Amino acid sequence: MDKPYKLTIPARTGKIANDDMNRLLSFARAAQGKGASPVIVSYPSGSRKAAAASQEAVIILRNQGVQPDKIRRATYNGKSDVVALSFTQRVAETKPCGDWSQGLSTHSKNEPSPNFTCANQSNLAAMVSNPDNFIEPSRPGGRDAAGQIPALQTYQSGTWTSSSNSGNALGGAGP
């Protein structure tokens, strides 16, 4: 699902006020996420103050790591001193879980609740880094060899299996 992100900044002085800076910085961090569309920075064509503030917003977005090719400026008819920023980002969402017909404390057989799979789906949706992978898998990339080498060396040396001879798989003394 595509989730819209919008931010409106008043530009009465032609600059972004300190009060609005934190909101803009937070917006910039969200705009860097995977699956985000280009950021549209729009302002009324009849306002010089809004044009100046929109240019400042573009500079701040770039300084916060938003790629220049992901930022687009646009004008619309009007004279208000307001800059509007927006983008959409793909997010993973599930239907709300709502079957609380049985309390878990009444299950003497330790059976799953009616919401068990719904809760798992919601947790998976919250943890996924790129929801587009549910639609189409990412192309395989290079392996992180630096992280794998120590694990392979430990495996090849056999040190990870030496504690299993003591009778305890966790490496402690056996019974």
What distances in angstroms separate CA 31 from CA 50, 149, 169, one per listed residue?
21, 34, 46
Task: Tell me: do 82 and 96 sit in the same domain.
Answer: no
Average pLDDT over residues 81-86: 95
Cβ–Cβ under 8 Å, residues 80 and 47: yes
Residue 79 falls inside a structural domain: yes
**In angstroms, how far is CA 132 from the centroid of its own chain?**
12
Does the pLDDT at position 164 exceed 60? no
Q: Which CATH number belongs to the domain containing residue 66 in this structure?
A: 3.30.1330.60
7: exposed, middle or buried (Cβ count in 10 Å: 0-12, 13-18, 19+): buried
Q: Is residue 38 part of a domain?
A: yes
Q: Are residues 96 and 71 in the same domain?
A: no
pLDDT reading at 71 higher than 80? yes
pLDDT cut 90: percent of the chain above it: 43
Helix (H, G, I), strand (E, B) or coil at 172: coil
Residue 10 lies in a domain: yes
Q: 83 and 41, same structural domain?
A: yes
Do 60 and 115 belong to one domain?
no
Question: Do the domain assignments include residue 20?
Answer: yes
Q: Are residues 28 and 79 in the same domain?
A: yes
Residue 74's φ and ψ, nearest 5 degrees, are -150, 155
Residues 41/85, Cβ–Cβ less than 8 Å? yes
Are both 49 and 126 inside the same structural domain? no
Give 32's pLDDT tier (boundaries 50, 70, 90): confident
Q: Residue 54 CA to chain centroid, in angstroms?
A: 25
Let me know whether 55 and 66 are in one domain: yes
In a domain, 143, yes or no: no
Note whether 82 and 97 are same-domain residues.
Answer: no
Residue range of the domain that includes 13: 2-90
**Same domain? 7 vs 84:** yes
**12 falls within a domain:** yes
Q: Report yes or no on 153 lying in a domain.
A: no
Kindly report, residue by residue over 94-145, the tens digit of the pLDDT: 888 777 676 666 667 777 777 777 878 888 888 887 777 777 877 776 666 6
Our count of domains for the chain comes to 2
The rounded distance, in Å, linking the Cα atoms of 124 and 148 is 26
Residue at 18 is within a domain: yes
